[in-house]
Amino acid sequence: MKAMLLERLVRLQENEAPLKLADLPEPSPAEGEILIRVTACGVCRTDLDEIEGRTAPPQLPVILGHQVVGRVAALGHGAGAFAIGDRVGVAWIHSADGVCTFCRSDRENLCPNFKATGRDVNGGYAEYMTVGEGFAYRLPDGLTDVEAAPLLCAGAVGYRALRLTDLQDGERLGLTGFGASGHLVLQAARHRFPYSDVFVFARRAEEREHALALGAAWAGDVTDEPPVKLHAIIDTTPAWRPVVEALRHLEPGGRVVINAIRKEDADKDALLRLDYASYLWMEKGVKSVTNVTRADVRAFLSLATQANIKPDVQVFLLEEANRALMELKASKIRGAKVLKIG
């Protein structure tokens, strides 16, 4: 099978090609697993964190990709939840142990034995991959394979972040950064909270225009002052400065939810400006999003069907994965980037 392989960690520079096109043996499903013939895989900023070592794979080489759509091609012994030919998706959560305190309290995202698709095990930048059948999802009709892929991470983790804001209908929501996750969260928020205005902070004019076209009440640069204070802000950027600015834009008792698996170090001096009285006092809160649960993925897929949420996608061939990643690194973003495979 064809696959794009990460063989070493690199600090990405302009026009770099971190992944190598390789011809590998087709994997075989183990007991309880299914083999998936991959047709689409989303490209995520977390892939950059893996390549650059902020959330390094435990071993190399590895196949990245954790927003996977495909068809069931074979069943391992004992697998019977799906039939050959069924369309399924795979998300960031590839497995959890199911027995720890976190798993038994519906917090499998915090499981100490959590394994991530495309980091701890091979993912979807390939023609085939395997997964336990309990960690695969039936996908809603009405979406193409490339449209369904971003729902599995950008959408699902965005949904988790939205839940963690504890937003009440009528309260004002901010979104810092407006890429794959942000443009799906905006659509979800407008459906779930019809009386809540959404304010978007984004560096690029194209992203701000995109946000307004999707129904944002206001869009400005990350350094701009919104016309009113906000009750909650979700940050999806790789930087620290937008988090500090977000705290300044909150109402008393407001919440910032950081939806990023890692932050880059380039602007961490911004934290030195985090004056307590100006930024954190008045019971403002900061919370991080860690991974997703299977319940998050299922809930967002259901919501996407109800609200007719569809991502804007830019499609690349599997062999063009490096170009997609470097555009993401350069913040050339409109919606989601997706690899079309096979």
- Angstrom distance (rounded) from CA 89 to CA 136: 6
Predicted pLDDT of residue 334: 82
pLDDT class of 213 with cuts at 50, 70, 90:
very high
* Of residues 280 and 85, more confidently modeled: 85
Nearest-angstrom CA–CA distance, 61 and 71? 25
Rounded Cα–Cα distance for residues 275 and 306 (Å): 43
Residues 6+ apart with CB under 8 A from 149: 40, 41, 42, 67, 68, 69, 89, 313, 336, 338
Task: Give the rounded percent of residues in the chain with a pLDDT score beyond 70.
Answer: 100
- The band of 5, judged by pLDDT with boundaries at 50, 70 and 90, is very high
Q: What pTM, to 2 d.p., does this model score?
A: 0.93
**pLDDT tens for residues 99-154?**
999 999 999 999 999 999 999 999 999 999 999 999 999 999 989 999 999 999 99
At residue 332, the pLDDT reads 83
36-50 pLDDT per residue, tens? 999 999 999 999 999
- Is the confidence at residue 267, as pLDDT, over 90? no
Q: What is the pLDDT of residues 295-307, one digit of tens each?
A: 999 999 999 999 9
Mean pLDDT over each residue of the chain, to the nearest integer = 95
User: Domains in the chain, start-ordered, CATH in brackets?
Assistant: 2-152+292-340 (3.90.180.10), 156-288 (3.40.50.720)
* DSSP H helices in the chain: 45-51, 101-104, 145-148, 154-164, 180-192, 205-213, 241-248, 294-307, 321-329
pLDDT for 1: 97
